[in-house]
């Protein structure tokens, strides 16, 4: 197991709120790693720190041994670490094909280059070929979600960070997405995925990290994590809070 991404002691405070509080993570080459945790536990902030969108207060991020903590988002993306967003994941006033063209990045120095032969090839892979001339605002939500994923793929990633890709999808769409993510893994791309939906993440990931108020409280194989008493108390607590709120 080779660690491609190593996060050490990562911390981030927003005006006194500790969104991340000394998080350590290793992402292994070729795996699908899950990141779960209640709302506001710092999952998106962790991705933001890794991809340069947010400057961490402390800690380091190493990508293949290189310190990328202070790099700008576009530099990090060009090194092969590409993320998706929870919302606003496409370019609305451009066609589906133009969207992919905008994101398209060919060979990267020294690397093997694109997994896909062309933008059309990628659109086929995503099952979006029939929508390619439509404006991105006009396509169904599930397709837009796939397109968002496609943009990240077009940018020629080695590590893909997916922020709640299954949010708002129904069960069938969720299953399709899980299949797509497995296919992405088969292309040799490492995947790190945030998700609320436990069944989704349990079936998809080999390994899961659990975040709670900015701290990593558990890590391991899905079955181990699911039986971890800390995790159970956090998630039961969340469920209890939700139930009592409604």
Partner 1 sequence: MVAVSRSFAGTLLRQYPPADILTIRLPLAILLALPLLAPMLLPSTRLLSLAITAAIFLIVANGLHIVFGYTGQLSLAHTTLWGVGAYTAALLAIHYGWPTAALIPAAGISAAIAAVAIGIPAFRTAGFSFAIITFAFAEILRTVAINWRDLTNGGAGLMLRTPPTSIGPIEFETIRHLDNFYYLTLAFAYLSLAGVFLIRQSRLGRTFIAIRENESLARSLGINVYLHKLIAFGLSGFFAGVAGVFLLYNNQKIEPGPLSPFSAFFTIQFLLMILIGGRFSMLGPTIGAVIAVFAPEVIRPLIGLTPLGDLSTARIQIIFGSTLVLTVLFAPNGVAGQAKERYGALAAALQKFRERQGGAAPPGAAAGG
Ligand X SMILES: Nc1ncnc2c1ncn2[C@@H]1O[C@H](COP(=O)(O)OP(=O)(O)OP(=O)(O)O)[C@@H](O)[C@H]1O
Residue 126 is a binding residue for partner 1 (CB under 8 A): no
The least distance separating ligand X from the CB of residue 5, rounded to whole angstroms, comes to: 18
Which CB atom, from 26 or from 238, has the smaller least distance to ligand X?
238
83 binds, among Mg ion, partner 1, ligand X, none (CB under 5 to 8 A by kind): partner 1
The least distance separating ligand X from the CB of residue 129, rounded to whole angstroms, comes to: 31
The least distance separating ligand X from the CB of residue 46, rounded to whole angstroms, comes to: 7
DSSP string, 139-168: S-HHHHHHHHHHHHHHT--SEEEEESTTTT
* Backbone dihedral angles phi then psi of residue 207, each to the nearest 5 degrees: -145, 145
Contacts of residue 89, Cβ cutoff 8 Å, sequence gap at least 6: 144, 145, 147, 148, 151
* H or E element, residue 203: helix 198-204
Residue 243 is a binding residue for partner 1 (CB under 8 A): no
Which CB atom, from 44 or from 143, has the smaller least distance to ligand X?
44
What is the spatial distance between Cα 134 and Cα 233, in angstroms, rounded to a whole number?
A: 46
144 binds, among Mg ion, ligand X, partner 1, none (CB under 5 to 8 A by kind): none
234 binds, among ligand X, Mg ion, partner 1, none (CB under 5 to 8 A by kind): none
The least distance separating partner 1 from the CB of residue 94, rounded to whole angstroms, comes to: 6
Among residue numbers 4 through 23, which ones bind ligand X (CB under 6 A)? 14, 17, 19
What are the structure tokens assigned to 131, written together? 């929508």
Among residue numbers 7 through 66, which ones bind Mg ion (CB under 5 A)? 44
Residues shown for the chain: 246
Contact letters for partner 1, residues 49-88 (x by CB under 8 A): --x-x------------------xxx--xx---xxxx--x
| Nearest residue to 97 (alpha-carbon basis) of 68, 126, 75 | 126
What is the spatial distance between Cα 99 and Cα 153, in angstroms, rounded to a whole number?
A: 12
Which CB atom, from 26 or from 197, has the smaller least distance to ligand X?
197
Contacts of residue 199, Cβ cutoff 8 Å, sequence gap at least 6: none
Q: Which residues bind Mg ion (CB under 5 A)?
A: 44
């Amino acid at each position: 197991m080779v660690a491609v991404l190593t996060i050490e002691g990562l911390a981030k405070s927003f005006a006194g709120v500790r969104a991340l509080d000394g998080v350590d993570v290793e992402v292994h080459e070729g795996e699908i790693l899950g990141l779960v945790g209640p709302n506001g536990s710092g999952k998106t902030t962790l991705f933001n720190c890794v991809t340069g969108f947010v400057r961490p207060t402390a800690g380091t991020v190493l990508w293949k041994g290189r310190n990328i903590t202070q790099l700008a988002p576009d530099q990090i993306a060009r090194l092969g670490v590409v993320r998706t967003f929870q919302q606003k994941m496409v370019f609305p006033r451009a066609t589906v094909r133009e969207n992919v063209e905008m994101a398209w990045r060919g060979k990267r120095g020294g690397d093997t280059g694109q997994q896909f032969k062309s933008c059309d090839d990628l659109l086929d892979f995503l099952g979006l070929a029939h929508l390619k001339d439509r404006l991105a605002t006009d396509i169904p939500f599930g397709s837009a979600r796939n397109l968002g994923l496609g943009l990240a793929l077009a940018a020629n990633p080695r590590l893909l960070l997916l922020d709640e890709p299954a949010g708002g999808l129904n069960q069938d769409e969720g299953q399709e997405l899980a299949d797509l993510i497995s296919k992405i893994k088969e292309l040799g791309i490492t995947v790190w995925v945030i998700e609320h939906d436990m069944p989704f993440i349990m079936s998809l990931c080999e390994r899961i990290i659990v975040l709670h108020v900015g701290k990593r409280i558990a890590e391991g194989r899905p079955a181990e994590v699911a039986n971890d008493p800390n995790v159970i108390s956090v998630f039961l607590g969340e469920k209890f809070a939700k139930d009592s709120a409604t």
